[in-house]
Amino acid sequence: MQTNRPETKTGCRGLTVVELLVAITIMSILIALLLPAMQQAREAARRASCANHLKQLGLGMHLYSKSHGCFPPGYTAELSQDQYAKSWAWGAFLLPYLEKRPLYDTINLEKQSLTESVVDPNMIRFYQTELSIFLCPSDSGSSLSHSYRQLLVPQYLTQTKPEPENDLNNHASSELMWVYLTPSVSRGFSGISVIAHARPPIPFPVPKPKPKPKPFPFPFPDSDPDPTDDTEPEPTPDPPPVTTMPTKIGKSNYVGSLGSIWKPKQSDWSDEDFKGNGVLGRNTRVSWHHITDGTSNTFVLGERSWKNYAAVWPGVNSVNDCGFIDNQMVLGTAFYPLNQRSVSVNIDCDGTGSANFSSHHPGGANFLFADGSVHFLSDKIDFRNSDSSHQSGLFQRLAHRSDGEITGEF
């Protein structure tokens, strides 16, 4: 006997709208919890890599010191020359001790100055060499220098020509005019450099004027064709000055320590000020016995981020200036707070954030000390410069090589 059973539907039941929303919410919460942890882990790895770069630079410093008996100068200067002469900096001097001997031999800094070297159009590409040891992985800026840290080279090396439609003959009073537009600074490009070409210089030599016609031919070319003509010969003009144009060069996220000194006005700077009270300065030869505060209590290098215009490794534009294209290109000072945001750049020495130490690491920056160790200093570190207090802060004491003050824990 057969019995008829009702057919039953089989299959998977789908999610209801409420269940789907709950699942999405749970996934969102998990992502929100895990993403910051992943970002922190990545930043920790980048910070560790940055510290490793500083340790390698520290090893190069020690090898240089062993070979020369002192730390390299922050940059060199022949003070008898034009103050706008370009000069090699500590980064270039360290190249043979950083396994960059071929590059060091190519730029040949032992036989020619940076001023002499930049006139060679074949050399520009070497100054634009990206050297990873000078770059912090946390800094996402370009591997070439910021617009405010460019090297001024002869205009013919840039392979650019004046554009007639952009000619500013009625407004330009010099061979070169710089116009800077500075929008809000971000982690990327933070400045627009507009170069306005002035009237092209007179070509040299100037063609001689056609001789005046004479009424009678004179048979002796070497004789005076007209003894009665007392007109002064037109003097041959001096060659016009070489027009310069800014060119980006290799970036560095690390600057030498000038110490805790700084003067906001160019007129206030003396020769001793340019030497600084840190380990690296103009024409300095600081050796171990000069660091009386102790090598473990004095830092040599610190970070400079792209948002504060970073730095460069080859050299400086001027050996006797303190502007943003001069000693600020390779040196930093503890006169300004750590990680202070740069708010302006001008033609004087008020560096604000462009002359300080800074980084893209949250909460502070890495520093190389004279003993070769690397420490992460908090941007909340005790800060009191000489203008705000009679007693310097911990940050200033760590930058000064011989102030005799106790640093304490940091």
What is the span of the domain harbouring residue 78?
68-147+250-399
For residue 5, give Cα distances in angstroms to 1, 2, 8, 191, 268: 13, 9, 9, 82, 105
- What are the pLDDT digits (tens) for 302-357? 999 988 889 999 998 877 777 776 888 999 999 989 998 766 555 457 656 688 99
CA separation for the pair 201, 197 (Å, rounded): 11
Q: Which residues contact 74 (CB under 8 A, 6 or more apart)?
A: 89, 90, 256, 258, 276, 280, 281, 282, 284, 327, 330, 331
Residue 329 contacts residue 318 (beta carbons within 8 Å): no
Q: Is residue 224 part of a domain?
A: no
Question: Tens place of pLDDT for every residue, the chain, 410 residues?
Answer: 555 655 555 556 677 888 888 888 888 888 888 777 787 888 899 999 999 999 999 999 999 999 999 999 999 987 766 666 788 999 999 999 999 999 999 988 887 888 888 778 778 888 888 999 999 999 888 888 887 788 877 665 544 443 343 333 333 333 333 333 233 333 333 332 333 333 333 333 434 444 544 443 433 334 444 444 445 445 444 444 455 667 888 999 999 999 998 887 777 888 888 899 999 999 999 999 999 999 999 999 999 998 888 999 999 887 777 777 688 899 999 998 999 876 655 545 765 668 899 999 999 999 999 999 999 999 999 998 766 556 789 999 999 999 888 777 77
The count of structural domains within the chain is 1
Q: Which residues on neighbouring strands pair with residue 381, listed in sequence order?
A: none
Residue 65 contacts residue 287 (beta carbons within 8 Å): yes
Q: Is residue 205 part of a domain?
A: no
Q: Is residue 176 part of a domain?
A: no
CA separation for the pair 271, 94 (Å, rounded): 24
Q: Is residue 195 part of a domain?
A: no
What pLDDT score was predicted for residue 345?
53
Q: Which two tokens stand for residue 129?
A: 């060499």
Q: Is residue 241 part of a domain?
A: no
Q: Is residue 2 part of a domain?
A: no
365-403 in b/e burial notation, b at 16+ Cβ within 10 A? bbbbbbbbebbbbebebebbbeeeeeebbbbbbbbbbeb
CA separation for the pair 129, 235 (Å, rounded): 45
For the chain, give the mean pLDDT. Answer: 76
Q: Which residues on neighbouring strands pair with residue 246, listed in sequence order?
A: 152
Residue linked to tokens 């830092």: 299
Residue 152 contacts residue 317 (beta carbons within 8 Å): yes
CA separation for the pair 261, 396 (Å, rounded): 9
Provide the whole-model pTM: 0.72
Single-letter residue type at 345: V
What pLDDT score was predicted for residue 47?
94
Q: Which residues on neighbouring strands pair with residue 177, listed in sequence order?
A: 196
What pLDDT score was predicted for residue 99?
94
Q: What is the 3-state secondary structure (H, E, C) of 299-332?
A: EEEEECCHHHCCEECCEECCCCCCCCCCHHHCEE
Residue 385 contacts residue 392 (beta carbons within 8 Å): yes
Q: Which helix (H) or strand (E) holds 255?
A: strand 254-259
